[in-house]
Amino acid sequence: MIYLFCLLVPCLLGNAVLRVFYGKCRTQDITLADSALTGGMVVIGLAEAAHLGAIALGRSFSDCERLFLAGLVVLFIVAVILIVAGKLLKKEDERLREQRASGRKQIQTRDQILYFVFGAAALIQLLLIVTEQKVYFTGDMTAETVNSILDTNAIYQVNPLTGQAYTLGMPLRLKILCLPTLYAIYCDLFDMSAVQVVWTVVPALTLLGSYLSFFTVAKALFPEDVRKRGIFMLFVALLLWVGDYMYGVDGFAVQYAGFRGVSIRMAVLLPYTFGLILRRKWKLVPLCILTEACIVWTLYGMGICLLVTVGMLLAGLVTNRMSNQKELRQKNGIRQGGKEDSL
Amino acid sequence: MTELIRNAWLGWQDYTEHGKMAALLLLALLLYWFGNKRSGSKEMMSRRHTLVSYTTVMTVCCICPLTAAALMAYQTKFYDYQWIWGAVPVTIVIALAATQLWTELADKYTGGDGAGWKRAGITVLFACVIYLCGSMQSAVWDEDEAAQNRQKAERVLEIITENGQNKDICLWAPQGIMEYARALDGSIVLPYGRNMWDGALSAYSYDTYGEEEKMLYVWMCHAEAAGEGEAEYQTETGETKIVTAAECMEMINQFAVTHIILPGNLQQEVLTEAEAHWGIQAEDIEGYYLLCIE
């Protein structure tokens, strides 16, 4: 049930957000993956708002949960209205359907095999995460924090590691991060333990989110080539599988620490940021930057997503400029060659 | 700054010690810059060029200690060196290079006899190279021991909460039990938490532990390791003090401990002393001794 909720609700919310941001300009390279990932960021943003509201106003966790659910219901209703209104405006959807139909190519059998093997690899990884529950929690206290929130019905009133009241408190820059509160809400909504949600459900969702993010990159790099997209995703699956040798590497983050903010940033937000930038979907990039600030300790809100955005922008400007200069030189070279010939 | 540069230098050594994804990334970049870049439309070439140019610059920045230190300062000192590599799309670029190269090689063997076998051979070769640059499925930490500890802790805590009968439980136990106590049951209170042995967790709170908590931890560690009732403790002033079981029993009172778990290899006289102190019989559970002193 929790998996359905965490997959369907973000898809719906994300779809609505994409309609708002791109409306009539939605093109065939905005896919269900974009909806799911955008919706996921919206859910985190909503959790952050509820979390900050509860902390600032000194409200209980129950009040925070009610605020989150109220916001979710409002957004859900707005999303449904936007989607229904969009469907009723037949012109927009007809145009989109025509674009998608013309862009869609028949996947050949050998390419289907690629996607099948990729799917099998991803499924095995998912099953391993869910069944083995191999969790690396050194340096992390998310499960304890969630349990403390559920037990005391308050956010950060007790030290999660001991269960005793704080004497000196905790850093504000950690206090404002919303993931433990979001996980506690899921525990309460679906009557699950902190260990089940934090160490099983969330890592499974992070793995799925990660593959969706990498799929958007594949779409950006090989928009017309289904075969290369499949090969790319297969290599990504292999790299994530074997790249688990050290905490801080993609594969490790996804397989053993998917509940941590840094892992969600590394495996989901950053690949998605690259995917958006490569496809020039700039309106969604600030969402990634803001989401990172909600789940990871950053330098006053400036994190790796912002660094990547600025870096890719500069790289794009420089490479375009160099490319234009090269073309100009080639054109001048041809013209000079033509003049010499005519002389 | 000197400390950051030193951490950046050591961090790079550590980053490349366990796996070779960084080497694979450098290989991917070399393949791109010296290989055939002309495939696909102008727009796609531009995208790949932007991505790889950015990756090249950031890779150099992450390797060079000065720029790596700057990146570490930017990401805040809360995170270690390896997290700056989050700004480098390692997986994306390696997968991109592998895809391009595999496609080029596979297309060479599209026709003719044994084309399928040749493609399969190329695939196996690629998979082997990637596998050898990764973990090769060797355990990063002792996963089996961690799983066993967790199962044991679950069983012990289940017994304790059943015995506790919904009363407040404050538990003092060996590290292997206390490690999972708060994660499995948020109602259990501990005199000290995981940050006693996991220093990274100390960044999450301004609270610190007093000498009593540290002495209790040192005594319990020694009791578990050697089964003895006396442990050596280094005070903050540098003196060496002997912590006895009797002292621990006195210190426990100020933390309102209700349940004590002692290691199963503890000397009989120490156990007898503890039982006599509280006037209760220790219960044997899962290889430990449980004392309910509520």
Is the pLDDT higher at A177 or at B7?
Answer: A177
pLDDT of residue A73: 94
| Mean pLDDT confidence for A95-118 | 68
Note the helical H segments in chain A: 2-22, 32-57, 61-88, 90-103, 109-132, 142-152, 172-175, 179-190, 194-196, 202-221, 226-242, 250-256, 261-264, 270-278, 285-295, 304-342
- B53: domain range? 2-133
Residue B107 to chain A, least CA–CA distance (Å): 12
pLDDT of residue A314: 95
pLDDT of residue B78: 80
pLDDT of residue B143: 76
Residue B263: closest CA among B277, B282, B242, B248: B282
Q: Which among B80, B157, B204, B209 is the top mutation candidate for probing chain A, defined by the most A β-carbons within 10 Å of its own β-carbon? A: B204
Asked if residue B163 and residue B72 are part of one domain, the reply reads no
* CA atoms within a 13 Å half-sphere pointing along the CA-CB vector of B198: 20
Separation CA A321–CA A332 (nearest Å): 16
Asked if residue B126 and residue B228 are part of one domain, the reply reads no
Asked if residue B154 and residue B288 are part of one domain, the reply reads yes
Tell whether B34 is covered by a domain. Answer: yes
Tell whether B69 is covered by a domain. Answer: yes
Asked if residue B157 and residue B267 are part of one domain, the reply reads yes
Q: What is the pLDDT of residues A215-244, one digit of tens each?
A: 999 999 998 888 899 999 999 999 999 988
pLDDT of residue B179: 92
| Mean pLDDT confidence for A41-52 | 96
Tell whether B78 is covered by a domain. Answer: yes
Number of H helices, E strands in chain B: 11, 7
pLDDT under 50: residue ranges of chain B? none
Asked if residue B248 and residue B207 are part of one domain, the reply reads yes
Q: Which among B16, B43, B54, B192 is the top mutation candidate for probing chain A, defined by the most A β-carbons within 10 Å of its own β-carbon? A: B54
Tell whether A343 is covered by a domain. Answer: no
Tell whether B138 is covered by a domain. Answer: no
Tell whether B248 is covered by a domain. Answer: yes
Separation CA A199–CA B148 (nearest Å): 16
Q: What is the pLDDT of residues A3-17, one digit of tens each?
A: 888 889 999 999 889
Asked if residue B147 and residue B128 are part of one domain, the reply reads no
Q: Which among A157, A200, A249, A300 is the top mutation candidate for probing chain B, defined by the most B β-carbons within 10 Å of its own β-carbon? A: A249
Asked if residue B53 and residue B25 are part of one domain, the reply reads yes
Asked if residue B179 and residue B66 are part of one domain, the reply reads no
Asked if residue B127 and residue B24 are part of one domain, the reply reads yes
What is the 8-class DSSP label of residue B39?
-
pLDDT of residue A44: 96
Asked if residue B171 and residue B124 are part of one domain, the reply reads no
Tell whether A99 is covered by a domain. Answer: yes
CA B187-B191-B194 angle, 5° bins: 85
pLDDT of residue A298: 87
The total domain count for chain A is 1
Element (H, E) at B102: helix B90-108
Element (H, E) at B231: strand B230-234
Final residue before a domain boundary, out of B133, B152, B178: B133
Contact: A163, B190; criterion CB under 8 Å: yes
| Closest alpha carbon within chain B to A153 | B186
Tell whether A126 is covered by a domain. Answer: yes
Final residue before a domain boundary, out of B80, B113, B133: B133
- Identify all chain A residues contacting B187, using CB atoms and an 8 Å cutoff: 151, 163
Final residue before a domain boundary, out of B103, B133, B163: B133
pLDDT of residue B216: 93
B-facing residues of A in 118-137 (CB < 8 A) are: 134, 136-137
* CA atoms within a 13 Å half-sphere pointing along the CA-CB vector of A329: 6
The total domain count for chain B is 2
Q: What is the pLDDT of residues B108-124, one digit of tens each?
A: 776 667 777 888 888 88
pLDDT of residue B293: 84
| Mean pLDDT confidence for A47-57 | 95
Asked if residue B239 and residue B267 are part of one domain, the reply reads yes
Element (H, E) at B131: helix B115-133
Separation CA A209–CA B218 (nearest Å): 43
| Closest alpha carbon within chain A to B185 | A147
Asked whether the predicted pLDDT for residue A93 surpasses 70, the reply is no
What is the average pLDDT value for chain A, to the nearest integer?
88
Asked whether the predicted pLDDT for residue A342 surpasses 80, the reply is no
- A209: domain range? 2-302
Window from A156-170, A202-216, A327-341 with minimum mean pLDDT: A327-341
Report CA-CA distances (Å) from A65 to A5, A69, A247, A266: 16, 6, 32, 27
Separation CA A232–CA A222 (nearest Å): 9
- For chain A, how far is it from start to end, CA to CA, in angstroms? 80
Asked if residue B147 and residue B126 are part of one domain, the reply reads no
Tell whether A219 is covered by a domain. Answer: yes
pLDDT of residue B110: 66
Asked whether the predicted pLDDT for residue A205 surpasses 60, the reply is yes
Q: What is the pLDDT of residues A270-308, one digit of tens each?
A: 999 999 999 999 999 999 999 999 999 988 888 999 999
Tell whether A338 is covered by a domain. Answer: no
Q: What is the pLDDT of residues B218-254, one digit of tens each?
A: 999 999 998 888 888 888 788 888 888 888 888 888 8
Confidence of residue A75 (pLDDT cuts 50, 70, 90): very high
Taking the Cβ of residue A232 and every Cβ of chain B, the question of whether any pair is shorter than 8 Å is answered with yes
